[in-house]
Amino acid sequence: MIDSVLRRHTGHVPLTKYRFRTAWTIAAPAPAVFETLVDIAGYPDWWPDVRAVSGVDDETAELSCRATLPFTLTLCMTRVEQDKSEGRLGVSLTGDLEGTLAGRLSEHVHGTRVEIAQRVVANKRLLRALSPVAHPVFRANHAAMMRRGQRGLRSLLT
């Protein structure tokens, strides 16, 4: 309610909403990158900020993530798209963050380009309380997590 009133009167997106765009270049063939990215259970093996994955089935998994800041986010990821031939994948997110994550893989002169777009709303009480003052810090924390993910994936596949 407050978010919609704020947006209507100020034109600003509430600070509990985040949009992230990330691009990785991985020196590996697209099929190998795609298979690694859809194997969510394997994330802790190469992505240090993904601390645990549980409840994995064909469509869903629960992840515990902790980047630089001293708190853990618990996310339930539900697969909504997985098209290897088109290089597209997507999940819906619920839990401490709610929203979507979409990925697009394409051939690149140096291997595979991975473009990731996320749109989320912070549900975790701590994030909601601190977002008005810590929004830039949370964005930097996310960027650090994504850089470590890229390094981990590169290390695994090259």
pLDDT single digits (tens) 30-74: 999 999 999 999 999 999 999 999 987 889 999 999 999 999 999
On whether residue 31 sits in a domain, the answer given is yes
What does the block give as tokens for 11? Answer: 């034109």
Q: Write out pLDDT tens, residues 85-135.
A: 999 999 999 999 999 999 999 999 999 999 999 999 999 999 999 988 898
Rounded to 5 degrees, what angle do the CA atoms 65, 3, 126 make? 30
SS3 for 16-71, per residue?
CEEEEEEEEEECCCHHHHHHHHHCHHHHHHHCCCEEEEECCCCCEEEEEECCCCCC
The Cα 34–Cα 23 span in angstroms is: 14
Question: In this model, does residue 146 exceed pLDDT 60?
Answer: yes
On whether residue 135 sits in a domain, the answer given is yes
The predicted structure's pLDDT at residue 43: 97
20: containing domain: 15-157
For residue 78, the domain's CATH number is 3.30.530.20
On whether residue 10 sits in a domain, the answer given is no
The Cα 43–Cα 33 span in angstroms is: 12
Question: From the centroid of its chain, how far is CA 88?
Answer: 15
The Cα 1–Cα 147 span in angstroms is: 35
Q: What is the pTM of this model?
A: 0.87
Counted domains in the chain: 1
Q: Under a CB-based contact definition with an 8 Å cutoff, are residues 139 and 18 in contact?
A: yes
The predicted structure's pLDDT at residue 3: 43
Structure-model confidence comparison of residues 6 and 134, the more confident one: 134
The Cα 73–Cα 95 span in angstroms is: 8
Residue whose structure tokens are 């979507």:
100
On whether residue 85 sits in a domain, the answer given is yes
Q: Under a CB-based contact definition with an 8 Å cutoff, are residues 21 and 116 in contact?
A: yes
On whether residue 36 sits in a domain, the answer given is yes
